[in-house]
Structure 1
Amino acid sequence: GVNALQTKNMYGAYHPAHASLNDPSFLATLPDREIRCGLAEIVKMAVILDEDLFRALERHPDAFRRPATGPADRSHGELETYVLRTSMRLMMEELCPNLHEHDLARLVDFGHTFSPLVETAGGHRLEHGEAVAVDMALSAHLARLLGLADEETCRRVVRLLRRIGLPVFDPGTCTPELMTQALRASWQRRGRKLNLVVPTGIGKAAFVEELTDVPGTVLEDALKALAADGERHRA
């Protein structure tokens, strides 16, 4: 996929992989920022599908960054193995039945409605995983305001992202104008269905299917809530 015209993956060819080789020892070569970005995608899977995985991350938001306590490096701990294997299994179970994306309503698109524009409009100042974290936080607040998730679910999602060290708001791109633009772009990309994935609980999610299901006032209120939360944490 090649980014062009202020759009991610504008050009390219897409083919399901024949195989995926994963050597966890390579994780030890990554800087912490890249580890956090990978954890954003794991949080995504936990929020939509697996409450136990989410709880494990709540207990250990420093997963893959914990100091080594023995001869094994930081990528080979029991917790890390559980997190990796669970998130990979969940991803494969979701993607394999729909490899050619005949169904454009995909739970794994949680965190991927607003994030493409957060990345591009911000000049790629945020890494992909960081933009996904911002998207998940915004989507959690939208779920709360639309009555699809309770306050506690929203709070836990945003708090976990913060504890991992991920951003949950980006003042430069999280404006009503740009986020409305992101909604419309996703609506067009998904066959004129919004299919915004929002949490309905920890380990559960649903689709907001139509653009009209997200009134502009609700989007503005969600952005204001995130901005206010950010101000409280900086104070």
Structure 2
Amino acid sequence: MENLLLLHGALGAASTLAPLKKALAGEYNVYTLDFSGHGGLELPEQGYSIALFAQNVLEYMQEHQLEHVHIFGYSMGGYVALYLAQQHPDRVKSIFTLATKFAWSEETAAKEVKLLNPEKIKEKVPKFATILAERHTPQNWEQVMYKTADMMQQLGKQPSLTPEVLSYIQQPVQVAVGDRDNMVTLEETIQAYRNLPNASLLILPATHHPLETIPVSRLQHEINLFTTSIATSLPA
């Protein structure tokens, strides 16, 4: 079976992908990992960055003796996957991104960072605060959020995936987004699709940004369609 690595999004953890991993287990060798400072892992002193998370993936692949993998990346996980593919093209066979934000500027970063306020979250959506606390224990989820906000501000100043960088990525890429995603626009997704040399575009109807709102069976189906469609053109 093919190796499939699932990458979680910002504020997420490997546990958020457990239902999808279970659904796909009969069709792939499925792997998940927690990025540094997520899922209870120690918070890195140097802060979060796309480069750090890509290094986490490389180290995980080395540890599990994975020569190359297909990658499904949700939100930030898709961004990390594409960065990894550009830096280490021989390690990535294909990428399926879902709800990945491509258009980073200081203005868009500021908009996202405004939503990452632990005090407001505890006040207005305490259930989400509880989920984050459980997801990242024994680490402080508020610190996870602050470090995520810092990373987003850095992306706003210096995006890792410019149109030029995307144009170098030769692997097959499925770029997917929900038509009701309030964090990722259709326009930025379509632009990324056009910048990638070997990409396909998938717009999911009546679909919002949160991963848990998307039926696992739908994701399983789309991932299988994508990997099947490219199987004949990829090396064994």
Fold-level match, TM-score > 0.5? no
TM-score where L is the length of structure 2: 0.29
Q: Name the structure where helix makes up a greater proportion of residues.
A: 1
Q: Name the structure where strand makes up a greater proportion of residues.
A: 2
Q: Which has the larger radius of gyration?
A: 1
TM-score where L is the length of structure 1: 0.29
